[in-house]
């Protein structure tokens, strides 16, 4: 039996995918073989030698020590696209909230409770909560992955001109975009052309405070900014200064901080992007299925630190080798197999950055010293043998 620890409440429709004849699943398990997590902070956690994988029920993994996991041979999964529709819908709402002072208008209308002539007062006071329409405006989308692509496509149906930029755009993502969406070569092009800008990129050292005084200065006067990705992408002080000067007309974020709550011009949504029941179910199911396939079969899909590697199971034994992406290591692995008279039926290898992963399906008996001999190869890390 393998232990899968739940660090957060995970939707049962996902955990039910984990066969209880194979796994113990719960919050209070000691020495887990794997972890399922949503938002719990894991950077201060230590992992036992038996720890194999972490499945994040969501896209962002900034709460997980990914680099340390790579060093320890722990695969970190996420669930790209599982919550995309929920975030897309909130992004469209954010565009509307940035266009018209709906939040302020509702708050003002509530102050009229208990007074006479509410309808008359509304007609007299509504003009200060007006705004502008989306149709005919230009939306700049930074990041055209699962969420950004859906936002871009939906915005075209609202009558907006859409321009997008994504240096890492995949062929699959590109095929999903409507033909009317214009491609921008740089983020600077987005800043200069757009009336609205929405961010859909991960929080990395490279994207931290990508929206700052310098980039805001490139934007149109009165531009409106949407950030449903991560608070770290935006320099809050620069945004507040731009709002005060009129350079920015509005900022809508799904990540309230001490610097952004209750600030005129800023709408802070309490991290609702992926909080729909449907999104939580979809993320839990995807995370559980990916985790199960790795633990039982060694297959990797949607890992942030190791390559996608998948091979159908055949009768016999599967050997999974994590190693550095260095020359000649595959020939050395197969050489050890040959020296031990182990016949390789199927073999697959892929890499992601410096991390590589090789699976070998072999038949016959596996000598007791096979793993030890593989470990003598320079650059080889964790090895699993799955019968």
Q: Among this protein's residues, is 157 annotated catalytic? A: no
Kindly tell me the sign of the dihedral angle through the C-alpha atoms of 122, 124, 129, 134.
Answer: positive
Per-residue pLDDT at 343: 92
Q: Among this protein's residues, is 72 annotated catalytic? A: no
Cβ–Cβ contacts within 10 Å for residue 108, how many? 16
What pLDDT digit, counting tens, does each position of 238-254 carry? Answer: 999 999 999 999 999 99
pLDDT surpassing 90 at residue 230: yes
Catalytic pick among 56, 224, 230, 318: 230
Rounded CA-CA distance 107/299 in Å is 52
CB distance 319 to 373 below 8 Å: no
Ordered structural domains, the chain, with CATH: 1-83+277-306 (3.40.50.720), 89-268 (3.40.50.720), 309-387 (3.30.70.260)
The mean per-residue pLDDT over the stretch 32-56 comes to 97
Rounded CA-CA distance 337/373 in Å is 9
Q: Among this protein's residues, is 271 annotated catalytic? A: yes
Per-residue pLDDT at 365: 82
Per-residue pLDDT at 364: 80
Cα distances (Å, whole numbers) of residue 34 to 63, 210, 263, 345, 373: 16, 34, 42, 29, 27
For the purposes of burial, counting CB atoms within 10 Å of the CB of 29, is it exposed (0-12), middle (13-18) or buried (19 or more)? Answer: middle
Per-residue pLDDT at 60: 84
What pLDDT digit, counting tens, does each position of 60-84 carry? Answer: 898 999 999 999 999 999 999 999 9
Rounded CA-CA distance 216/207 in Å is 15
Q: Which residues contact 9 (CB under 8 A, 6 or more apart)?
A: 38
The mean per-residue pLDDT over the stretch 213-229 comes to 98
Mean pLDDT of the chain: 96
This prediction has a pTM of 0.81
Rounded CA-CA distance 97/303 in Å is 35
Catalytic pick among 68, 100, 271, 384: 271
Please report how many Cα atoms fall inside a 13 Å half-sphere around the Cα of residue 66, on the Cβ side: 16
pLDDT surpassing 90 at residue 234: yes
Cβ–Cβ contacts within 10 Å for residue 264, how many? 9
The mean per-residue pLDDT over the stretch 99-112 comes to 96
Per-residue pLDDT at 362: 95
CB distance 301 to 308 below 8 Å: yes
Give buried/exposed letters for 358-379 (b at 16+ CB in 10 A, else e): bbbbbeeebeeebbeebeebee
Catalytic pick among 72, 89, 193, 259: 259
pLDDT surpassing 90 at residue 8: yes
What pLDDT digit, counting tens, does each position of 135-157 carry? Answer: 999 999 999 999 999 999 999 99
Helices (H) and strands (E) in the chain, counts: 13, 16
């Amino acid at each position: 039996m393998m232990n899968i620890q739940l660090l957060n409440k995970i939707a049962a429709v996902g955990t039910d995918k984990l066969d209880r004849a194979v796994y113990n699943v719960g919050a209070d398990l000691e020495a887990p073989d794997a972890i399922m997590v949503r938002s719990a902070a894991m950077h201060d956690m230590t992992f036992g030698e038996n720890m194999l994988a972490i499945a994040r029920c969501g896209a962002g993994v900034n709460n997980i020590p990914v680099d340390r996991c790579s060093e320890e041979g722990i695969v970190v999964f996420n669930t790209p696209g599982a919550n995309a529709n929920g975030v897309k819908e909130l992004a469209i709402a954010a565009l509307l909230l940035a266009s018209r002072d709906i939040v302020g208008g509702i708050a003002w209308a509530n102050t009229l409770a208990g007074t006479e002539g509410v309808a008359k007062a509304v007609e007299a006071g509504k003009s200060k909560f007006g705004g502008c329409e989306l149709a005919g405006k230009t939306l700049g989308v930074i990041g055209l992955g699962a969420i950004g692509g859906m936002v871009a496509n939906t915005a075209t149906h609202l009558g907006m001109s859409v321009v997008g930029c994504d240096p890492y755009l995949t062929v699959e993502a590109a095929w999903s975009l409507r033909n009317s969406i214009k491609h921008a070569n740089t983020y600077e092009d987005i800043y200069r052309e757009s009336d609205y800008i929405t961010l859909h990129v991960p929080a990395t050292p490279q994207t931290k405070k990508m929206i700052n005084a310098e980039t805001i200065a490139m934007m149109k006067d009165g531009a409106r900014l949407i950030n449903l990705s991560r608070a770290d992408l935006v320099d809050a002080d620069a945004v507040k200064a731009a709002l005060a000067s009129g350079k920015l007309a509005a900022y809508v974020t799904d990540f309230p901080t001490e610097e952004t709550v209750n600030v005129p011009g800023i709408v802070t949504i309490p991290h609702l992007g992926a909080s729909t029941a449907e999104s939580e179910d979809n993320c839990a199911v995807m995370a559980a299925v990916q985790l199960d396939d790795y633990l039982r079969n060694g297959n990797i899909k949607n890992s942030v630190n190791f390559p996608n590697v998948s091979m159908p199971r055949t009768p016999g034994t599967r050997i999974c080798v994590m190693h550095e992406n260095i020359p000649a290591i595959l020939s050395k692995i197969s050489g050890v197999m040959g020296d031990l008279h182990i016949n390789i039926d199927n073999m697959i290898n892929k890499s992601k950055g410096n991390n590589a992963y090789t699976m070998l399906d072999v038949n016959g008996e596996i000598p007791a010293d096979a793993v030890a001999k593989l470990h003598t190869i320079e650059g080889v890390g964790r090895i699993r043998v799955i019968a």
